[in-house]
Structures are given as structure tokens and as C-alpha cells.
Structure 1
């Protein structure tokens, strides 16, 4: 059976500190490359932080066609896994909660969050659901709240993909975080069962201003079962041998 090693990072939260975020990402990418990963997933809003205040978001947003973002791409490794990373994007004055797909320092695609929370009014909703491939592995992207909507996963399944990449940022007030701690995987598991897709998620972790992020960073199979997960509230790298065309796979938490 052919397999592709995929990886997801559970990271600290970086807010308005692109250099620190890049340094962290480069270090994680080196570890993933050393362990043979072909794909590495980072959280929602990882590069600049999950900033939903419009003034803050505009201050740090990147136009993906700009020289400034070209300089960011130049920092990415020129070997190793394809990187999928959350960031705040601006295009013609419009803000988007975006995931970029980068291969050896080259931008090969993007996905814009389609389903926005009431607190995300600074952003416009994305309209497209592209899919990507690494060898025999075909995948699509959801960003956090997208996974509450069956149609978001169904669009990925309709494209012939087998895996959902879920970028998340669940830094919440502690009481709310405790309520939702076990619900994230439950909701994602519903999407897997409905579509027959696998899912891998990446989330932030840590505490800030009375808020806490537990994670989870995990892999769910087609039956919606958690088959691999990093410990909650600990940064780490999850490696997983994804089966292309089969049911069995192996997890390698680091």
C-alpha cells in the first residue's frame, strides 16, 4: 500500500510578530523534513496571529502579489514538505482569512475561509474550494468554523480528494474552551462520516489574557475516529503515514 507521510504542528500563538512565527515555522519544517513528511500543516492565522479587529488585521495583512510577501516566501525552506499555513490576506482592500499552500518557497495556491463567525466581520468570505495533490494524495482545506458546515466538506469530497486539512485557532476564554475542548473532534468526525474523508487538524496552544488554547491537533479517519492526537496544551509535531487508497495508517507523534 502506498502512503504519504503528513504532519501537523501544534504551536504557540504568535501575534503581530511575523519574524518569530517564521523562525518557529522554519524550525518545525526542518524537523518534519528530517522525518520524511511530504506535507506540513500550521494553524489558522499562524503568520500574523488570529486578529479579528479590522484595524489590527489591516495593519499586518499581506497582499500575496506584493514584494513584502515575496520576501516572506523567500524565508521558507527550499526543500522538504509542502507547507499549508494560515495568514491574513488583503486584496484590493478586502481582507480574507486565508490558508496558503507553499512548495519550496513558491506559492502554489490558497484557500479563503468561507464560513465566518460573527466576530470575523472584518473579513470577506471565500467563494472557491480548490484541491491540491502530492503524488497520490489529493486534499482540500477547511479553516476552523468551516467544519461546522457539511457543504464545506462535501465540496472537497466532490473534487475527488481523500483528506481535509483543518487549520484552527481555538484560543478562547477558559470557561468556553473547557466546554468546547471535546467538541472540536466530535464535529469534525461528523464531516468525516458524512463524506468518507479523512481529516488532519492543526491548532495553537498556550494561555493569554484569561484565554486558553487546548488544541487539538489530530488525525481522524473516515469513520470519524481519532486515530492520532498530540497531547492537549503542549506544542508538538504530529507525523502520520496517510494511506493512499487504504484504511490502515500509522501515527508518529514527536
Structure 2
């Protein structure tokens, strides 16, 4: 049975430090390429940080048509896996919580978060749900809170995709983080069962200003079961061989820690 190797990064946060974020992308892309991964995803808001304060977000956001964004693309690898990277986007004065899809330094497309939290009032909701293809694998994207809404995953499934990427940032106040520690996969599993999609998530980990993030970065099968997951409290790179045929599911997975 044919499979496509996919990967997801569980990283520390990089806030208002695009250079450090790009260095991390480059290093992990090299590791993913060496492992044979065709697709590698990074957390929500990864490039500039998950910034919900409007002044900070506007200071860091990038227009995808700008020379500044072209400079970002120039720093990305020219070989290796297709990359999905969370970022803050500015377009015609509007802010978007976006995930870009890049291959070999070229922008392939983007997805804008459709379902916004109350704290994300500075952002405009996205309205489109595109899908993308790599090595015969079609996938779509939800960003964090999107996965609480069945219609967000359904739109991905309706494109003919078999994989949903959940690009997330669950850096939460400790009490909230404790409450939801084991709920994220349960919620995402519902979307898998409703649509028949596989799901891979990419999240942050670490502590900041009374907040804590544990992930999870995991792969869920179409029955909503976790088939592999990184440890909740440490950076890492998750690999999974996603079956693309019609044979029974027989996944092979592995983990690789970030030094």
C-alpha cells in the first residue's frame, strides 16, 4: 500500500522574531527532508508569534505581495517538503490569521482562519477553504479554534481531501490549559469521525507570562483515534506514514526530538 510521509513540528514560541522562526523552519525542514517527509507543518502564528494585540499584530503582519514577504520566501529551503506555516497577514489594511503553503521557496497558496475567538477582534475572518496537493495527497487546513466547528472540516472534506492539517497555538492561562489539556484531541477526533478525514496537528509548547502550552501535536485516524503523538511538554518533530490507498489502515510512525 502506498503512503506519504508527513511531519508536524511542536515548537517553542517565537514572538516578534521572524529571523529566529525562519532559522527553526530551515533546521526542521532539513531533518524532515532527510527523513523523507513530503509535508511539514508549523503552529498557528508561527512566523511572527500569535499576537492578538492589534498594534503588535500590525507591526509584525506581512502583505503577501510585499518585498518583505519575498525576503521571507528567499530564506526558506529550495528543496525538501512542502511547508505549511502559520503567520499574521496584512491585506488591504485588514489583518488575517493565516497559514501559508510554500514549496521550494514558492508561495502555493494560503488559508485564513474562519472562526475567530473573542480575543481575535483585530482580525478579519477568512471565507475560503482551499485544498492543496503533494505527492498525490490532497489536504486542507483548519487553524486552531476552527476545529470546534463541524462545517470547517466539512469544507475541507468536500474538496476531496483526505487529510486535515490543524495549525494551532494553545498557549493558555494555566488553569485553562489544565481544563483543556486532554480535550483538544477529543474535539479534533469528532471532526475526523464526521468527515472520514485523517488529521495532523502542530502546536507550541513552553511557558510564558503565567501561561503554559503542552500541545498536542498528534495524528488522528478517520475514526478519531490518536495513532501517534509527541510528548505534551517538549519540542519535537512528529513523522507519520499516511496510507493513501484503499487497503486497511496500517500506519507506521516515529518521533524525532529537537535538540
- Provide the TM-score with structure 1 as the length reference: 0.99
Q: Which runs of 4+ in 1 moved over 2 A?
A: none
Query: In the alignment, is residue 54 of structure 1 matched against residue 58 of structure 2?
Result: no
1:170 match: 170
Q: Distance in 2 between matches of 1:252 and 1:134?
A: 21
Q: Distance in 2 between matches of 1:141 and 1:2?
A: 23
Q: Distance in 2 between matches of 1:78 and 1:250?
A: 28
1:12 match: 12
Q: Distance in 1 between matches of 2:185 and 2:43?
A: 15
2:252 match: 250
2:39 match: 39
2:150 match: 150
| Stretches of structure 2 lacking an aligned partner (at least 5 in a row) | none
Q: Distance in 2 between matches of 1:194 and 1:113?
A: 20
Q: Distance in 1 between matches of 2:205 and 2:166?
A: 15
Query: How many positions carry a matched residue from both structures?
Result: 254
1:30-109 mapped onto 2 (5 Å cutoff): 30-109=30-109
Q: Distance in 2 between matches of 1:240 and 1:42?
A: 15
| Stretches of structure 1 lacking an aligned partner (at least 5 in a row) | none
1:227 match: 227
Q: Distance in 2 between matches of 1:156 and 1:91?
A: 24
SS of the residue 2:16 aligns to: coil
Q: Distance in 1 between matches of 2:252 and 2:154?
A: 26
Q: Distance in 2 between matches of 1:150 and 1:250?
A: 28
Task: Write out per-residue CA displacement over residues 164-216 of structure 1, whole angstroms, 9 at most, x where no aligned residue.
Answer: 00000000011110110100000000000000000000000000111000000
1:125 match: 125
**C-alpha displacement of 1:136:** 1.9
